[in-house]
Amino acid sequence: MEIIISILAGILVATGVYNLLQKQLLRIVIGTVLLSHGAHLFILTMGKLKRGQPPILEEGIVQYTDPLPQALILTSIVISFGITSLLLVLAYRTANENETDNMEQLRGKTNE
Amino acid sequence: MIIAILAPLLVACFIPLLSKIKHRVHTGFFVLLVPLSIFTYFVTFVGRDFSTQLQVTKWIPSLDINFSLYLDGLSLLFVLLITGIGSLVVLYSIYYLDRSERLDQFYVYLLMFMTAMLGVVLSDNIFVLYTFWELTSISSFLLIGYWHYKERSRYGALKSMLITVFGGLSMFGGFVLLYVVTGTTSIQDMIAHPEIVWNSAYLPLILAFILLGAFTKSAQFPFHIWLPDAMEAPTPVSAYLHSATMVKAGLFLIARFSPLLSASEWFYIVVTSVGVITLCWGSYMAVRQTDLKAILAFSTISQLGMIMAMFGFGTKIAIFAAVFHILNHATFKGSLFMIAGIIDHETGTRDIRKLGGLATIMPIAATLTVLGTFSMAGIPLPFLNGFYSKELFIDSALHLEGGMSTIASMLTAAIPYLVVFGSIFTFVYSMYFLFGIFTGKHKADQLPKPAHEAPFGMLLPPIILITGVVVIGLFPNLVNGTLLNHAQSAVGNTLYDVEKIKFWHGWDAPAFQVTLLIISVGIALYLTRKKWQHIYNALPGSFSFNRVYDALIKQLDRTSEKITNAYMTGSLRLYMTIIIAAIIVVTTTVMMVTDGFVVKFDNLADVSVLELVVAGVMVVAAVWTIFTNHKLAAILITGVVGYGVAILFILYRAPDLALTQLVIETVSVALFLLAFYHLPQLQKRDDSTGSKIVNATISIGFGALVAMIGIAAHSSSGFAPISDYFIKTSHTLGGGDNIVNVILVDMRGLDTLFEITVLGIAALAIYSLIKLRNDKEAE
C-alpha cells in the first residue's frame, strides 16, 4: 500500500507543479494546495501505514501507529492553511489592483 | 627600516590637518621633509662594504606572513630612486600645483604611493610584497584620476586599474604557487634553495603568472596601452609614477625573481622577446604622437622594454647594463617629464604642433632638454649617462649566445636587428621631441599663454636630475662599486668588471660602430620624417591595441547583459521551470550515482479496495483541475482532493489529522469561493503545444521523482523510529493519552508556538492587505 500512496503523492505533486507553471494566478493557488496535499500524504507514508491502532493510549493495546509524522503533518496543515489563505487574499488584491491575473502581464516593468 | 617605510603613510594621516593653512604655506613644503629624510637615511647604507640587512616584524605569524624587510643592492637602488626622485617631484609639485587645488588629497595619495613603492622593493615576504603591489595600483589609480572632473582622467585611471590589477592578481597566483612549491613565504629563503623551484612541475605556470604581473605593471607589449592614457595625471605624477618608479616595479619583480625563474629557457625567450618587441613598438609609435607627454609615455614604454630585454639576456654585461639603465632612465626621463610639464605650464599647451622656437624664450629648459634627449638617444658624448648604458646594451645584444632550442637561437639571431631598429627610432623621437619644441618658428598666436621661462623653483628639480645625468656621464664608474655592483650581484650573483666602463673603446669596438650606424640612419630618418610618416597610416593604421581593449570591455558588458537578459526575463514561470528542472536533474543524478532507486515489496501494508477507490477518485480530481476551465468546478474538485486526503487520514488511523483536515478543507473551500468570486473567470489555457509539452514533462518528471523517492525511502532499511519513547512516556511524563496532542503541546511544544505565530502573522497580513489602500483607491 505504501507504494500506491507514494505514487498517489507523486501524482498530486505532478498536477500541483503543472498548475504552478500556468499563467493564471488562480491555477497557481490551486497548484500550491495540491502540492501541500501531496507533501502531507508523503510524510504520512514515510511513517509506515496501518501498523497498529490510532495513537491514543488504551488499555490492552500494544501496537500504535507512529504518532510523530501525524504531529508533523498537523503542524504542516495549519501552516499551509495560513499560507494558502494569505496567498488567496494576495491574489485577489493583485488581480483587483492590476486588473489582470495573468502572470505574463504581471511582470515588472524594468529589468532592474 | 620599518619606520622609514611607514613614515609616509603616517605623515599622510596628518596632511588633511595642514590644509587649513595651505593658503599661507604650500602643503608640499611639509611633505618634502618626508622623502628627503628617508633618502638621507638610506644614503648612509651606500658604500663599497655594503652588506644586506634583514628586519622581521611579526604580522600574521600563524600564516607565515611577516613584515620582513630585506635590503640588498637592488632594493637600495630602488629605494634611493623612489625617495630621491620623490623629493624632487614634491619640490616640483609645489610650483606646479596651485594652492587652489585640492592639495591635501594630492599629497595623501602621493605619500600613500611612496609607502607602497618602498614596501614593494623592500618586502621579503611574497604576500606582503603583493599587498604593497596592489597599494601602488590603487594609489596610482587615485593619482591618475586626480582631476576627476575630466572624462579622460577617469577613463585613464580605470584602464590602468583594470590592467594592473589583472596583472597583480595573476602575480598573486604565481606567489601562491611558489609558496605551495617551496613551503616558505620568504623570497630569500626561496633563492637560497632555487633547485626546489627549478625541479618543480609548476615552474612554467609560476613563470607565466609572475611574468604577466611584471609585464602589465611595467607597460610591456601588449599591456602598454594604459601608460599613454595615464598621462592625464598631473605632470609630477607622470614624472614620478609613470617614468621613474611604479613602472619599474615590474622590472624589479623580474630582477628579484630571476635567480628562481631564469633556469627555464622560456624565461629567456619570453622576457627577451617581449622586451625587444616593446622597445621597437614603443619607439616606433613615439614618433607618431603629437602630445609631449604621449611622446614621453611611448618613450618610457620603449626604454622599459629595453631594460626588460636586458634582464632577459641574463648575461653579466646585460644585467649590469639593466641596473645601470634603471638609474639613468630615471634621471633623464624624470627631468624630461618635468620639462614637458614646465612647457605645458608656461605656454598652456602640450601639442607639439603648436610649439616651436622656444629656445630663446626658455633657454634653461632648452639646455636641460638637449642634455636629457641626447642622453635618451644614446649619443656618444662623454658627459651623458644614457650613452654608456646604451652602448652596454648594444654590446650585450651583439654578444648573445644562442639558446638550446630552435626558438631561442632564432630569437638570438634576430635580436641585434631589432635592437638597432628600436634604437634608430629612439634617436628619431628624441630629436623630434627636442627640435619640435625648441627650434623652428615660434607660433605665439597659437599659444593660450605668452611663453616665458619658468620660475626657478620649478626648474630646480630637472636641473638636479640633469646634473645627475652629467655627473654620471663624466664619471661613469662613480656609483658602480658603491651601489650598482651590489644591485647587480643581487640579481645575477655575478660581478661585471667595473673598470670596463669607459667612454672610448676605439673605432673598432663593434658597439661603437653600431652606434654610429644608428645615429647616421637616425639623422637621415629624422630629416626626411615628413616623407615617410604616412607609413603610420598603413601600420598600425586604424588598428591599435586601445581598440582591442575598448572592444573587449564593450563586448564583456554586452555579453554579460545578453546572458542576464536571456534568463532574467521577469517571467515567474520560467524561473519555476528552471528551479524544478534543476532539482530533477541534480536529485536524479545523485540517486543514479549512489544506486538510490531501490524497490522492495516486503514489509508493506495490505491493499484494500476502499483505499484504492479513494485514491482513484483523488487522482481523477487532481488531473481534472488541469483540464477544467470552470472556476467553480476547479474549486470543488480541489475540495474533493482535500476530503480524499481526510478519508485517507481516517483509514490510516490518524483521527486528529482527519478532524483538522476536514475542518480546514471546508474553511478553505469557503475561502476559495469567497476570493474566487472576485477573481476573473478561468480562461482557456492558450499555451502553445511546445510549452505544454515542457510543462508536462517537468511536472511528470518531478512527480515521478517524488514517488520514486518515497518508494526508495520506504524500501531502504533505516533505523527504528523514536516514537516508542513518545508512546511510552506520553501518559507518565506528558499526562495525556492522546499521543499526537501530547507531542504537539508538550514534547514538541515549540513547533506549535511558532505555528500559532504563523497563523497570527497570516491573519495580520490578510487584514492589512485588505484594509490598507494606497492613495489612489482611498480617493
Can you give the three-state secondary structure of B653-673, one letter per residue? Answer: CCHHHHHHHHHHHHHHHHHHH
B565 touches chain A (CB under 8 A): yes
Closest CB from B599, B706, B740 relative to A55: B740
Is B605 close to A2, i.e. CB distance below 8 A? yes
**pLDDT reported for residue B590:** 92
| A vs B: CB pairs below 8 A | 279
Which residue in B766, B772, B775 has the most chain A C-beta atoms within 10 A of its own C-beta, making it the best mutation to test that interface? B766
Closest CA to B569 of A104, A27, A28, A101: A104
Residue B652 amino acid letter: Y
Contacts of B696 in chain A (CB under 8 A): 18
The answer to whether B680 faces chain A, any CB pair under 8 Å, is yes
Distance of alpha carbon B52 from alpha carbon B710, whole angstroms: 73
Kindly report the nearest CA distance between residue A10 and chain B, in angstroms: 4
- The residue type found at B142 is L
Q: Which amino acid is located at B135 in the chain? A: L
Amino acid letter for position B266: W
- Out of B605, B607, B751, closest to residue A75 by CB: B751
Q: Which residues of B touch A22 (CB under 8 A)?
A: 573, 685, 695
* Residue intervals in chain B for CATH 1.20.120: 572-722
What's at B358, amino acid-wise? L
Residue A112 has pLDDT above 50, yes or no: no
Residues 6+ apart with CB under 8 A from A105: A98
Instruction: Name every chain B residue with its beta carbon within 8 A of the beta carbon of A36.
Output: none
Diameter of chain A measured on Cα atoms: 68
Note the maximum CA span of chain B.
117
pLDDT digits (tens, 9 = 90+) for B36-58: 899 999 888 888 778 888 888 88
Closest chain B CA to residue A62: B727
CA distance linking residue B96 with residue B73, whole number of Å: 33
Under a CB-based contact definition with an 8 Å cutoff, are residues B3 and B122 in contact? Answer: no
SS3 B1: coil
Report how far Cα B98 is from the mean position of its chain's Cα atoms.
33
Q: How far is CA B591 from CA B505, B601, B723, in A?
A: 82, 19, 28
Task: Kindly give the interhelix angle for A25-46 and A67-98, rounded to the nearest 10 degrees.
Answer: 180
- Tens-place pLDDT, residues A89-102: 888 888 877 777 77
Cα–chain-centroid distance for residue B386? Answer: 33
- Residue B772: CB atoms within 10 A of its CB come to 10
Exposure string over B104-127, b if 16+ CB within 10 A, otherwise e: bbbbbbbbbbbbbbbbbbbbbbbb
Domains along chain A with CATH numbers = 2-49+65-102 (1.10.287.3510)
For B761, how many CA atoms within 13 A lie in the half-sphere containing its CB?
12
Cβ-based neighbours of B678, under 8 Å, separated by 6 or more: A92, A95, A96
Stretches in chain B below the pLDDT threshold 70: 19, 22-23, 402-403, 493-506, 541-542, 681-687, 717, 774-779
Q: How many CA atoms lie within 13 A of B294 on its CB side?
A: 15
| Own/partner pairs, A90-94, CB within 8 angstroms, 24+ separation | A90/B769, A91/A25, A91/A26, A91/A28, A91/A29, A91/B675, A91/B679, A92/B675, A92/B678, A92/B679, A93/B769, A93/B770, A94/A25
B772 touches chain A (CB under 8 A): no
Asked if the C-beta of B561 comes within 8 angstroms of chain A's C-beta atoms, the answer is: no
Nearest CA of chain B to the CA of A18: how many Å? 5
Tell me the sheet residues that pair with B67: B57
DSSP annotation string for B581-649: HHHHHHHHHHHHHTT------SS-PPP-HHHHHHHHHHHHHHHHHHH---HHHHHHHHHHHHHHHHHHH
Nearest C-alpha of chain A: how many angstroms from B588? Answer: 15
Per-residue pLDDT, B1 = 78
Cβ-defined contact of A89 to B758 (cutoff 8 Å) = no
**Chain A residue nearest residue B709, CA to CA:** A6
The type of residue at B616 is: G
Residues near B745 by Cβ (< 8 Å), separated by ≥ 6? B752
Burial class (CB in 10 A: 0-12, 13-18, 19+), A21: buried
Q: Do A8 and B618 touch (CB under 8 A)?
A: yes
In order of B672, B742, B754, the CA distances from A33 in angstroms are 11, 28, 21
**Does residue B53 sit in helix, strand or coil?**
strand
pLDDT at A23: 83
SS3 string of B490-545? HHHCCCCCHHHCCCCCCCCCHHHHHHHHHHHHHHHHHHCHHHHCCHHHHCCCCCCH
8 Å CB contact between B394 and B511: yes
Query: Phi, psi at residue B71, to the nearest 5°?
Result: -110, 110
Which residues in chain B touch residue A5, judged by CB atoms under 8 angstroms apart?
A: 615, 648, 710
CA distance B159 to chain A (A): 27
Contact criterion met (CB below 8 Å) for A20 and B698: no
Q: Name which of B216, B220, B321, B219 is nearest B277 in CA terms.
A: B220
Q: Which of B710, B721, B761 sits opposite A6 (nearest CB)?
A: B710
DSSP summary character for residue B56: E
- Contact across the interface for A92 and B675, Cβ inside 8 Å: yes
Please say if the pLDDT value at position A110 is more than 60: no
Please name which of B267, B305, B505 lies closest in space to residue B403, comparing C-alpha atoms.
Answer: B267
Question: Is the Cβ pair B740, A71 closer than 8 Å?
Answer: yes
Cβ neighbours of A100 in B, within 8 Å:
680
Residue B153 CA to residue B145 CA, distance in Å, equals 5
CA angle B437/B439/B445 to nearest 5° reads 70
Which residues of chain B does A83 touch, with a Cβ-Cβ cutoff of 8 Å?
758, 762
Check A91 against B611: CB less than 8 A apart.
no
Rounded to whole angstroms, the Cα distance separating A89 from B24 reads 71
3-state secondary structure B592-603: HHCCCCCCCCCC
Judged by a CB distance cut-off of 8 A, whether residue B626 touches chain A is yes
The CA distance from A74 to B740, in Å, is 9
| 3-state helix/strand/coil string of B77-123 | HHHHHHHHHHHHHHHHHHHHCCCCCCHHHHHHHHHHHHHHHHHHHHE
Contact A13 B702 (CB under 8 A): yes
Partner-chain residue, chosen from B645, B648, B657, that has the shortest CB–CB distance to A74: B657
Contact A71 B655 (CB under 8 A): no
**Cα B243-B245-B249 angle, rounded to 5 deg:** 115
Q: What's at A31, amino acid-wise?
A: G
B-chain CB neighbours of A18 within 8 Å are 626, 695-696, 699
Give B735 to chain A, closest Cα distance, Å: 11
Instruction: Retrieve residue B760's grid coordinates.
Output: 497570527
What kind of architecture, by CATH, is found in domain B572-722?
A: Up-down Bundle (1.20)
Global model pTM greater than 0.80: yes
d(CA B774, CA B289): 63
